[in-house]
Amino acid sequence: MTPPPASEPASLSRRLLEVILLFLKLGFTAFGGPAAHVALFHEEVVERRKWLDEQRFLDLIGATNLIPGPNSTEIVIHIGFLRAGWLGFLFAGLCFTLPAALIVLALAGIYVRFGSAPQAGWLLYGIKPVIIAVILQALLGLGKKALKDRLTGAAGVLVLVAYFLGVNEVALLFIAGLLVMLFKNLQKMKKPGTALALLPLAGGGLPALASIPFSLPVLFLTFLKIGSVLYGSGYVLLAFLKADFVTRLGWITDQQLIDAVAIGQVTPGPLFTAATFIGYLLGGAPGALLATIGIFLPSFVFVALSKPVIPRLRNSPWAGSLLDGVNAASLGLMAAVTWQLGVASLTDPLTLGLALVSLFLLLRYKVSSTWLIAGGALVGLASMIVP
């Protein structure tokens, strides 16, 4: 994985501007959580702009699922590097996370002043059906590449079923990857000297802290620890935040934690911006800044460390088949989350119709998801005004 040639400064500047503009736009419009983000990225960088092909995009999804941190942010950082080198690496991540963090910061100020979280149910009412359609479009496109044979197809289906049986999603990723790798290389295992050492990245937690008064350094280090060890979807963040900030440190209440996660859900961008909200509650603007840096900084470090490995994974028969299994599992998990979102979001004829119309416009006329999300927000606003 190498950045664009340095001998083309004009082209590199243009590519960097493209990266900045795209991820700024997504930073303000990417609602719906990790599955929706992946779908939006797929539409923008694979289908519309042709920056990546299907296989490379799938490999990025698989690779980021194997490291801790917010997966959608890590995919953005990878794409930025591939498109515009190290400057793209930096600005892609910043442009995707900063808009959400600033919106959350503003809402945190309102919360502190008025003592409650602003209600945005009408916004999500109209946007979520559109997001369901966007994810379905991405599943159709990615499925053709990820489920490349009966083995990977079976892995995807089994992961989907196991998810609903309550099996841990991170365990499913590794199990599916290992099983596909072993089945595909069964004959090679009989040859002497064939071995594979799998060393998943594991974040070493910081030493447990005694219950102490609030301080900015401890706030930063706690969020740095969480960003370094959190595997799975952004919703796993709730458990980490409760363990550290409610139970261990006692700095916030359960209600404040729920409000922080709710704000992260109703704003665009990564759910991890709940850290910005908590940081502001505890330490004002400096606390919000340190909390945001602490939870997102590990993502940049992990991507920088893992990016040279991804091409080698694809070129190795063993590691490539491991990645095939992880990709199929990622698609199965994405389908499971889509079903859950659909059940929660498509609750009446209006939302069901909005999802179907959006899917038709995406598949038939390739309408930009940005416009569809804006239309969904207007429908939500109209539903609030007109009983």
Question: Which DSSP string corresponds to 137-190?
Answer: HHHHHHHHHH--SHHHHHHHHHHHHHHHTT--HHHHHHHHHHHHHHHHTTTGGG
- Between residues 71 and 115, the one the model is more confident about: 71
- Per-residue pLDDT, 200: 35
**Mean pLDDT of the chain, nearest integer:** 81
- Per-residue pLDDT, 300: 94
The enclosing H or E element of 258 equals: helix 254-266
- Averaged pLDDT, 144-163: 87
- Averaged pLDDT, 264-289: 89
pLDDT above 70 for 199:
no
- Averaged pLDDT, 222-235: 76
- Averaged pLDDT, 109-116: 77
Phi, psi of 300 (to 5 degrees): -65, -40
DSSP 8-state class, residue 7: T
- Averaged pLDDT, 3-19: 73
End-to-end CA distance of the chain: 53
- Averaged pLDDT, 14-24: 95
Chain length of the chain = 387
Of all residues in the chain, the percent with pLDDT exceeding 70 is: 85
Among the residue ranges 52-66, 90-104, 248-262, 308-322, the one predicted with the least confidence is 308-322
Most confident of 65-74, 215-224, 227-236, 337-346: 215-224
- The CA distance from 216 to 230, in Å, is 21
- Averaged pLDDT, 345-374: 87
Q: pTM of the entire structure?
A: 0.72
Contact between residue 10 and residue 95 where contact means Cβ atoms under 8 Å apart: no
Q: How confident is the model at residue 104 (pLDDT cuts 50, 70, 90)?
A: very high
- Per-residue pLDDT, 383: 83
pLDDT above 70 for 120:
no
- The CA distance from 73 to 296, in Å, is 8
- Averaged pLDDT, 250-254: 87
Q: How confident is the model at residue 130 (pLDDT cuts 50, 70, 90)?
A: confident
Q: How confident is the model at residue 205 (pLDDT cuts 50, 70, 90)?
A: very low
Q: In terms of Cα–Cα distance, which of 144, 158, 198, 166 is closest to 319? A: 198
- Per-residue pLDDT, 21: 95
Burial class from Cβ neighbours inside 10 Å (0-12, 13-18, 19+) for residue 213 reads exposed
- Per-residue pLDDT, 206: 38
The enclosing H or E element of 78 equals: helix 71-114
Q: How far is CA 103 from the centre of its chain?
A: 18
C-alpha R_g of the chain: 21
Of all residues in the chain, the percent with pLDDT exceeding 90 is: 32
- Averaged pLDDT, 260-277: 83
Contact between residue 75 and residue 38 where contact means Cβ atoms under 8 Å apart: yes
pLDDT above 90 for 192:
no
